[in-house]
Structures are given as C-alpha cells and as structure tokens.
Structure 1
Amino acid sequence: MTTTPATATTDTSVHTIIDSPVGPLTLVTRESGLAGVYMTEHRHIPAQETFGPRVAATDHPVLARTTEQLAGYFAGDIRDFDIDLSTSGTPFQQRVWAALRDIPYGETVSYGELAAVLGQPTASRAVGLANGRNPVSIIVPCHRVVGANGSMTGYGGGIDRKRWLLGFEHGTQQPVLG
C-alpha cells in the first residue's frame, strides 16, 4: 500500500456507497488512490461536495479494488489491504497513519505506545488527534488504538463500531451493525 499526498487541483474525486456489516461506507477516491472511507455519522467527515460525483464501484478501478478487499476483510478472507492511498493531512498525521498500518490484525496498541513508536513518547494526545482525523477508516486501522488501560476510547465511526471491528478481528460473533 502506497500513500500519495493528495493534490486536489490535479485529481478528480468520485465516490460510491457500499453496504457493510458496520453500515453503509462512503468510499472516496481520486485518480491516484483512495482518499476516504467514511461511516454514517462519522466525525470529521469532509463536506460531501468534495467527494465528487457518485459512481458505481465498478466504474472506477480504485473503488472496485477497495470494495473487493473490504468484502474480503468482512468475509474473514483477508487481513491486510493492498490499496493505493491519496490522503490529505499534515506530515505528522501522515506519519501516524503510516504507523497505524503496522498494527497487526486483531491486535491493539495504546496511544502512548504508538507515540513511542513514532519516537515522540510524550505525544500521545497529538497521536490521538491525528488518529481521529484518519480519513481511511478500516483500511488504515485506527480502530486498533485504545486507551492506556485497554479502554475503548474515541473512534470517528463511533465506539459501537470500534468495539464491533475489534470483536470481529478477535473472532467474536456479533450481529451486523447499521
């Protein structure tokens, strides 16, 4: 998975909406890669007009690949995503999001542990803020970051979805959300 800094002036955004066990997901792409995966009632969601026109997932190769890999993830067939990303964020946010992709499937780390991995052990609050701004939920697994005591802390898609995703990755049978 590669990350290309977004250049809104040269990339055309399009989006689609797919069903998932955690409810509808809005997938946003630019020509160079996936720019967003947003859940209903997602915190920090950009204005919808920035998503571009709605298209069928099969009409765009990044959307088709993302849809296929998300279906594989929710079927339990894949644990790692191979999708080119085109995310917008500060250099620090980009570093945090890159570190999130290194958290293994089914495992969790605390904000403090993630800050230490980044070489900034006192920056757990800044890591939490960057984590909360992750535009590519599930693909960049921000749901795998928990409080220092293992508690369920904030999640852009809501704590119930975070709990569901972590339970799903641990093999817990759960009803479909949404």
Structure 2
Amino acid sequence: MTNETAFLETPIGTAKIVGDENGIQSVTFLDEKIPTSIEIAPCLQECVSQLTDYFEGKRTEFELTLHPKGTYFQGKVWKSLLQIPFGKTTSYLEQSTLLGDPKAIRAVASANGKNPILIIIPCHRVIGSDGSFTGFSAGIWRKKWLLAHENPVKQETLF
C-alpha cells in the first residue's frame, strides 16, 4: 500500500498530509509555500476537509482514522493528547501524572515533540507548568497562533 500526500494552504503555512487506507500518518507544516493540492487521494479528502473547517473556525473536533507510527509509549502519550478539549491546555506535568508517572515528564515531553499528526493530535495544547509556550516541532509561533485560534480573547469595550 502506497502512502498518498496532499498539501493544504493554511494561515500558519502549508500543511503536508500523508496517509493511506489505514488512516492519516502525519500532518506537518512546511515553511515553503505549496499551493493546495488540486487532486487529493480519496483516503486524504476527509482530512483536508476537516482541517479546512478547523482553520475556518467551523470545527472543534476531528473524526478521522489516525495511523501514526511510533513506539508503544509514544502511542500512549499521543492517545492522551486526544483527551485535551478544544480551547483548553494542560501541562507536561499534568499529562505525565495522568499517564501514571509524574517523573516521566521529560519522556512525555519528548513523545509530544515526536507527534507526527499535528493539530489533530493536539500537542499544541500542552504548555509548561508556568504557563510558558514550550516546545512545538512546527515552531512556537505556530503554537501561539493555534492556541489563540482555539481560545480567542473577546475584547470587551471599556466604556
């Protein structure tokens, strides 16, 4: 079975989507601008559609078959990321505690950094215990953008 690839222009750069009939294997971001794919393999069409809805503010949850490649531990960490609700954040310490070992914070952070399916497996929702925007494989500026997109501050008028 061959992997299919599609590109999607987004507000944070070109998303490169890879997958096959077994599911989505990766969503990564490129710094180079590549136009949205015109021909999209059937196994990737729903992912492109749902990501488009997400960026247009019409979707808060994804309903896709995911097939990330990683170790058993990484898979456990990535699965726990799926429990973080849209518009919310958690810390690496909270995530490692939830996984049963608060001392595994570095291993959990490392597994988050190797998450191959950005946005859909929402590792961008994990921040430092002090509220800092620590590590994001696609760049901190993208993490800030995604968190602001998911939790826009509504500015109230002062007068």
TM exceeding 0.5: yes
C-alpha contact 1:62 1:83 (8 A) present in aligned 2: no
User: How many angstroms apart in 1 are the aligned matches of 2:43 and 2:84?
Assistant: 23
Query: Equivalences for 1:20-31 in 2 at 5 Å?
Result: 20-31=10-21
Name the residue aligned to 1:12. Answer: 2
* CA-CA distance at 1:14 after TM superposition: 1.2
Question: Residue 152 in 1 paired to residue 142 in 2?
Answer: no
Structure in which a larger fraction of residues adopt strand? 2
- What are the superposed Cα offsets for residues 117-143 of structure 1, whole Å, 9 maximum, x if unpaired? 111111111000000000000010000
- Tell me if structure 1 keeps the 8 A contact 2:22–2:65: yes
Q: Which runs of 5+ in 2 are unaligned?
A: 32-36, 155-159
Query: Percent same amino acid among aligned pairs?
Result: 42
CA deviation map 1:131-161 (0-9, x unaligned): 0000000010000000010100010110000
For residues 143 and 84 of structure 1, what CA distance do their matches in structure 2 show? 20
Q: Give the direction of change, closer, same or farther, for the CA distance of 1:32–1:23 in structure 2 (3 Å limit).
A: same
- Partner in structure 1 of residue 95 of structure 2: 114
2:49 to 60, 65, 68: 68
Contact 2:6 2:41 in 1 (8 A): no
1:27-83 deviation line (CA, Å, top 9, x unaligned): 001221000001015xxxxxxxxxxxxxx4654223110111011111111111001
Instruction: Name the residue aligned to 1:142.
Output: 123
Q: Is 1:36 paired with 2:26?
A: yes
Matched residue type, 1:164: W
Task: Answer yes or no: is the 8 Å Cα contact 2:26–2:118 preserved in 1.
Answer: yes
Q: Give 1:16 shift.
A: 1.1
State the aligned residue count: 150
Measure the CA separation in 2 of the matches of 1:165 and 1:154: 14
Larger Rg computed on CA atoms? 2
- Counterpart of 1:12, as a letter, is T
CA distance in 2, matches of 1:59, 1:137: 19
